[in-house]
Structure 1
């Protein structure tokens, strides 16, 4: 992989998109930044990170996805890769909160944002943005956030984590290319946060209801068993879990 380290940038995803537009970066080019002024989360939210303490990175995956209907395969590959690496560091109670938050117990320690650039009918370039709280210990005003350091009572080498995560993502992508996506889907489903437990949700109209997570559809919609014993699917903008 080609690694570009930056001291500060508005967004590693935006930097990599511009690089992709104006140059021809090699596959699995990685951008990291010690400080990010406009880090991105899902649905336009802002990812806040203390300078120098965390892992903020973007990875380019070129010409991998050939079918837009399989686009969520990349999401699960990345999420499973991160959890697989963190499991080797004995981070407790790891899970994936749909769609792409990395959880330790009930605390968010990381997030994923994948932006896709469609290049015609058969080619898609993907920019994988990853924010991982590593050695930060102060999360004032963020009661649901934590870090690897706090959860494991240890200090971690960010460069080592980066290399291991990129290698695991490469491995999972090779599985997708070998038509072994089912193996990754099984792991992803098993790792779903609060799967099988009755949980409160809120829809876009702020109406609250109970549901039990059954899984995630192939296009990334959450599958919920409702109180009337029906199973309904929801997109990312349609509901949020209350926990």
Structure 2
């Protein structure tokens, strides 16, 4: 069920409530404390975009396999946008890009039960009809920007929900090889030279993305031929900088 509210602090926080069950979506018109990855705030033009949280209860999934849940979410989104005529790529770990511009941000927060996942809240922000953005945002885009037309946000959300549910079904039925192959096919900048920064040291280098490991590490080939796996926060993309 889709629950629509006018304002909240964060849909991810609200969706932790036991009153929301598997498959429920909480869509807020405005979030006063929306969160993005790396502790960033998520900002959105009011009345123009989609900010919502989806509740999944993947009790069949071991904690060490949680990256496959993110794969399912990212693939569901790219499936939905392809149906709208927008070709997207998945920028590791969990942004959706059109060319070099960000269309979607994803933030997944888990609750555990022993060695398994109990509840996952998938927070998603989609730029739908916004075409004027805060200049401090480095590289935003939207469905409207990419297609030249406006969208019914409710219809977009329905399409996205269906696509997410289908990818979740694949995960639940153990089709992890298919999910991994599809995810790899849609990786942003796969097999192309890409500038990276190591936050811990400030080092910058050009490498080539060769794969993403089942556990979520980004496999980058360095100029000397070494292939190194990086975890989230160990490496970041340099996009749009001169």
- Give the aligned partner of residue 204 of structure 2: 208
Shift of residue 65 of structure 1? 4.2
Structure 1 residues without counterparts, runs of 5 or longer: none
Pair 239,122 (structure 1): closer, same or farther in 2 beyond 3 Å: closer
- Give the aligned partner of residue 4 of structure 1: 3
- Give the aligned partner of residue 231 of structure 2: 235
Shift of residue 144 of structure 1? 0.4
Aligned residues: 237
Greater CA deviation, 59-68 or 45-54?
59-68
Q: What pairs with 1:41-120 in structure 2 (closer than 5 Å)?
A: 41-91=36-86, 93-120=87-114
Structure 2 residues without counterparts, runs of 5 or longer: none
- Give the aligned partner of residue 143 of structure 1: 138
1:134 aligns with 2:128: yes
Task: Determine the C-alpha separation between the residues in 2 that align with 1:82 and 1:123.
Answer: 22
RMSD (Å), alpha carbons: 1.2
**Correspondent of 1:181 among 168, 176, 200:** 176
The answer to whether the Cα contact below 8 Å between 2:60 and 2:172 also exists between their aligned partners in 1 is no
State the TM-score, normalizing by the size of structure 1. Answer: 0.94
State the TM-score, normalizing by the size of structure 2. Answer: 0.94
- Give the aligned partner of residue 35 of structure 2: 40
The answer to whether the Cα contact below 8 Å between 1:107 and 1:146 also exists between their aligned partners in 2 is yes
Shift of residue 123 of structure 1? 4.2
Pair 44,143 (structure 1): closer, same or farther in 2 beyond 3 Å: closer
The answer to whether the Cα contact below 8 Å between 1:65 and 1:125 also exists between their aligned partners in 2 is no
The answer to whether the Cα contact below 8 Å between 1:213 and 1:225 also exists between their aligned partners in 2 is yes
